[in-house]
Amino acid sequence: MFKALKEKLFSVRQRLETTISEQPAEEPVAAPAVQELPDSPAVEQAPQPAAQADEGAKEKKAPGFAQKVVSLVRDREFIISDKDIEDSLSDLEIGLLESDVAFSATDAILSKVREDLTGSKRKIGTSVDSVITNALSEALLSVLGEGVNILDFIASHEKPVKILFTGVNGTGKTTSVAKVANYLTKNGLTVAIGAGDTFRAGAIEQIDVHGERLGIKVIQHQEGSDPSAVLFDTVQYAKAHNVDVVLGDTAGRFHNRVNLMNQLSKIRRVIQPDMIVYVDEAVAGNDAVIRAEEFSKSVGMDAVMLTKVDMDPKGGAAISIVQAVGKPLIFIGVGQGYDDIMPFEPKAIVADLLAGEA
């Protein structure tokens, strides 16, 4: 997953490590030497007992020469300057942009890496790779945020928890609803699905087939009926049968289709969803980022789900959408099966991206 982006990050890490390792070390400022005064010939030293003489000899020997050398080597430092990392950051910028990371997200990552590395000091013996990896990790996480655990979210809200799925045509939204339903039931939750896509021909039949295969109740009306009524009935069914979660499918739409966007606004007023999940496909790259921004402005969203991540070697869309809309990426689709879905955990994803060459 995200093979191209992993390769770019690995290459930049290698170059940064080489550049920083080659920088000369800064010597620590030595403490002024203590000058010993010459013995006064007029003063005669009184003899000391043998035990005291031995202790005095030990005090004169410490610290020994070897200890001083170890201390000096330990305290030497490398100071990383902006000049030291500029070429590597240029490579990182190109690599991120080639991996479909949007300009705004790229700038945010570069600024964070520069801030963390420039002027920092590294003692001899400290791993250069760990310094670089930590800086890149912090930069990526600053863009990706902390994420959202859907199970914790559901546990913290009154039942039934209402989750509405929106997005553009052809991005796998209806299949994503089925995948999320399967994920939730496997985690011990009961689910009802509302067939709110009454606009697209065959959409009701599609979600109904998914429901039968998964053993999940699907509430549906006739094609062309009011989707708000369908989803309202789904919520009522869930309340009457103590269902934990309602998943509402909706028609795919573009932000410039006024009638469909007004319809979505009506759905929000009627069922008052606890979470709105915007669904798009990773292979759309920066187009997905633009669409997400427009949806966020038009009707709002609380989280994002990306489909077809297994078909996207670049990985930039995942980073860019989160940064562009300021909302967490909650799930990624990684295949065609019902189990081919992964909760998006930023720390795990970043650790994988920086684990080594893809």
What is the per-residue pLDDT across 233-265, written as a single tens digit (0 to 9) for each?
Answer: 999 999 999 999 999 999 887 756 667 777 888
pLDDT of residue 358: 55
111-124 pLDDT, tens digit per residue, is 998 888 886 655 54
Q: Where are the alpha helices (DSSP H) in the chain?
A: 3-21, 50-61, 65-75, 82-98, 103-117, 128-144, 150-155, 173-186, 203-214, 227-240, 258-271, 286-298, 316-325, 346-353
Number of neighbouring beta carbons within 10 Å of residue 304? 27
Q: Which residues of 179-216 are buried (b: 16+ CB within 10 A; e: fewer)?
A: bbbbbbbeeebbbbbbbbbbbeeebbebbeebbeebeb
Q: Which domains does the chain have, with CATH numbers?
A: 3-23+76-144 (1.20.120.140), 150-353 (3.40.50.300)
263-306 pLDDT, tens digit per residue, is 888 899 999 999 999 999 988 878 888 888 888 887 789 999 99
Tokens encoding 349: 């994803």
Query: CA dihedral defined by 78, 83, 87, 90, rounded to 10 degrees?
Result: 110
